[in-house]
Amino acid sequence: MSVIPLANPKAQYLSRKKEIDAAITRTLESGWYILGQEVERFEKEFAAFLGAECCVGVGNGTDALALAMQAVGVVTGDEVITVSNSAVATIAAIEQIGAVPVLADVEPQTRCLDPQHIEHLVTSRTKAIVPVHLFGQPAPMEDIIVLARKFGLKIVEDCAQAHGAEIQGKKVGSFGDAAAFSFYPTKNLGALGDGGAVVTHSHDVADAVREAREYGWTTRYVSRKPGVNSRLDEIQAAILRAKLPYLDVANAQRRDIAQRYEASITSHTIVSPRKISGTVSGMHLFVVECEARDRLREFLGKEGIGTAIHYPMPVHKQPAYSGRLRGQDRLPCTETLSEKILSLPMYPELTEGQVERICTALQKWCRNEER
Ligand SMILES: Cc1ncc(COP(=O)(O)O)c(C=O)c1O
């Protein structure tokens, strides 16, 4: 029995091989490999896709977060409120710029930043909020924006897992002062290497990121401010341009697969991701909750189905961070979730036969559990 992998970036490449190969060849033959026409065009196309004014391509999603925060004014010592229920990159980016992560709990329904847990964390040093649209599910931006306005805080959305997700018909990444995207190969819009972007409505913020991504240069070899080297390369930009036109359709295919999984989950022992009214999930990951998570994982493994836990340890429990992050003592929902969550394979290239096998396995588990 072949194992169905949790993610399959090669299948994604093969599904668009012709367009991607042509994009790579075009770039190779252009003779221009760093910050050229492909990056410029991708930036315009991705901003238009999101309904945002500006986009600046950078080296990866972690840098996108760090550069976006700096561009909206976060400086060393400032506090940034975010969640522990995320890729470690969210918190690493805050510390990368010398700022201080402060952790808020998440909502049980969206599994994203809980607006009710923000206010008591605000101090005179708080500068920004970084909501993470986790697993493709948009965070409750309306309430977060109200709080940000009340306390004069900036918002940098972490959209690394939510390309194309929507709230009331508006794409995430267009709500905050800036947003950060990752194009890691397994993301909904994935490159074939590292890549990232900062998206914003503000030309000033975009200009600041554009300078900072290349040594602080305003003109070549002249640095106005200290910067870094974090550039999206031409080949990755060309690949992303080849894939972007299919993103909405690919996300809809993910949601169709999710619906079929949901229909197969007939036992209360597994809880599917909740539908949140007014939002459209990018369905980056299909993450169920199950009290018997480890047993479910073992069962699916025996059925040849790859699974993963995103993430087995919230960031504040990981060795590099444990015992030293503010807010870490009041994260009951974050901690409960980390013991129950399990990610099932979720990508548009899953074959009919693979989806069928996963549905059959889920049905079998449910039948056994309800006995
Ligand atoms: C929520 C979240 N934020 C940030 C990142 C960082 O992106 P990258 O791996 O491109 O640096 C990731 C990617 O893993 C992520 O999932």
Give the pLDDT confidence of 64-79 residue by residue, as tens digits. Answer: 999 999 999 999 999 9
What pLDDT, on the 0 to 100 scale, is given for residue 282? 98
Question: In the predicted model, is pLDDT for residue 101 greater than 90?
Answer: yes
Backbone φ and ψ of 280, nearest 5°: -120, 120
- pLDDT tens for residues 178-229? 999 999 999 999 999 999 999 999 999 999 999 999 999 999 999 999 999 9
Read off the pLDDT band of 121 (50, 70, 90). Answer: very high
Is 200 touching ligand 1 by the criterion CB < 6 Å?
A: no
pLDDT at residue number 263? 97
What confidence tier does 8 reach under pLDDT thresholds 50, 70, 90?
A: very high
- The CA distance from 189 to 171, in Å, is 14
- 43 pocket-lining for ligand 1 (C-beta < 6 Å): no
The per-residue pLDDT for 262 is: 98
For 301-314, write each residue's pLDDT tens digit. Answer: 999 999 999 999 99
Amino acid at 225: K
290 pLDDT band, cuts 50/70/90, is very high
Q: Which two tokens stand for residue 68?
A: 């976006």
C-alpha span between 183 and 176 (Å, rounded): 19
Atom of ligand 1 nearest to the CA of 134: 1
pLDDT at 371 over 80: no
pLDDT mean over 51-63: 98
Q: What confidence category does residue 93 fall into, taking pLDDT thresholds of 50, 70 and 90? A: very high
pLDDT (tens digit, 9 = 90+) per residue, 234-288?
A: 999 999 999 999 999 999 999 999 999 999 999 999 999 999 999 999 999 999 9
pLDDT at 370: 80
Over 90: is that where the pLDDT of 57 sits? yes
Mean pLDDT over the full length of the chain: 97
Atom index in ligand 1 nearest the CA of residue 182 equals 10
* 1: confidence class by pLDDT, cuts 50, 70, 90: confident
Mean pLDDT over residues 169-174, rounded? 98
pTM over 0.75: yes
Distance in Å, CA 370 to ligand 1 centroid: 38
* pLDDT > 70: percent of the chain: 100
| 3-class DSSP assignment, residue 2 | coil
Grouping H, G, I as helix, E, B as strand and the rest as coil, residue 188 is coil
Round to whole Å and give the CA distance between 42 and 235: 11
211 lines ligand 1 (CB under 6 A): no
Residue nearest atom 10 in ligand 1 by C-alpha distance: 61
The residue to mutate among 88, 184, 315, having the most atoms of ligand 1 within 8 angstroms of its beta carbon, is: 184
165 touches 50 (CB < 8 A): no
Distance from the alpha carbon of residue 216 to the mean position of ligand 1, in angstroms: 24
